[in-house]
Amino acid sequence: MPGRTDFSDPWKAIRFCPGCGAKGITVRADRSVKCGRCGYHLHLNVAAAVAGLIEDESGRILLTIRAAEPMKGMLDLPGGFVDPGEAAEEALAREIREELNLEAQRSSFQYLGSFPNIYPYGNIAYRTLDLAYRCSVETFATEKFSQEITGVKLFSPSEIPLDLVGFDSIRSILTAYLRSTEVS
Ligand SMILES: [Zn+2]
């Protein structure tokens, strides 16, 4: 396909003004594109996403198995993109409900930190900032998963296979969590 690039930053691929269709749109240093004809100025900002680290009663961590690309078949944490107007905690509770059919207890949410990520999808490298939370669910009894995942696995912290985790940010979240729980 002519002109098609692999997982390009989106601001590099825009050649026509999304506002008026004019050619020769300028890519600026702040990752925005600006049209000299109509003044349309599109900022391609980092997207907010959430990830939940759920432990069972014996301290095992729940990891999901991705059903689709990107990172099909790899391990992941439950989570996803934050919708417009949504708080991160609302997004995480919603994603846990949608993916796992489980109810997360909002009072249990404990912020772990933010982790930059690149999410390759449809030949675009989306830049995200993943907000990570430790959280509890009312019960682990679920057999109904969304189509986004093929199932879940529970791992003791020392047994998490980090090389089978798909995204850099998720691996960083797990590494930070493991470091924080290390007994010194
Ligand atoms: Zn324009």
What is the 82 CA–ligand 1 centroid distance (Å)?
Answer: 29
Identify the pLDDT of residue 182: 76
pLDDT in tens, 93-113: 999 999 999 999 889 999 999
The three-state secondary structure class of 5 is coil
Q: For residues 39 and 17, what is the distance between their CA atoms, to the nearest angstrom?
A: 9
pLDDT in tens, 52-74: 999 998 899 999 999 999 999 99
Identify the pLDDT of residue 1: 45
Quote the mean pLDDT of the chain.
90
What is the 45 CA–ligand 1 centroid distance (Å)?
Answer: 19
Domain range summary for the chain, segments of one domain joined by +: 10-43, 47-181
What is the 6 CA–ligand 1 centroid distance (Å)?
Answer: 26
What is the 30 CA–ligand 1 centroid distance (Å)?
Answer: 18
Model confidence, pTM: 0.89
For residue 77, how many other CB atoms are within 10 A of its CB? 25
Q: For residues 85 and 77, what is the distance between their CA atoms, to the nearest angstrom?
A: 23
pLDDT in tens, 28-39: 888 899 999 999
Query: Residue 181: what residue type?
Result: T
What are the tokens at 131?
């907000």
The domain over range 47-181 is classified in CATH as 3.90.79.10? yes
Residue 144's pLDDT band (cuts 50, 70, 90): confident
Identify the pLDDT of residue 2: 47
The DSSP letter of residue 109 is E
Closest CA to 104 of 67, 128, 74, 77: 77
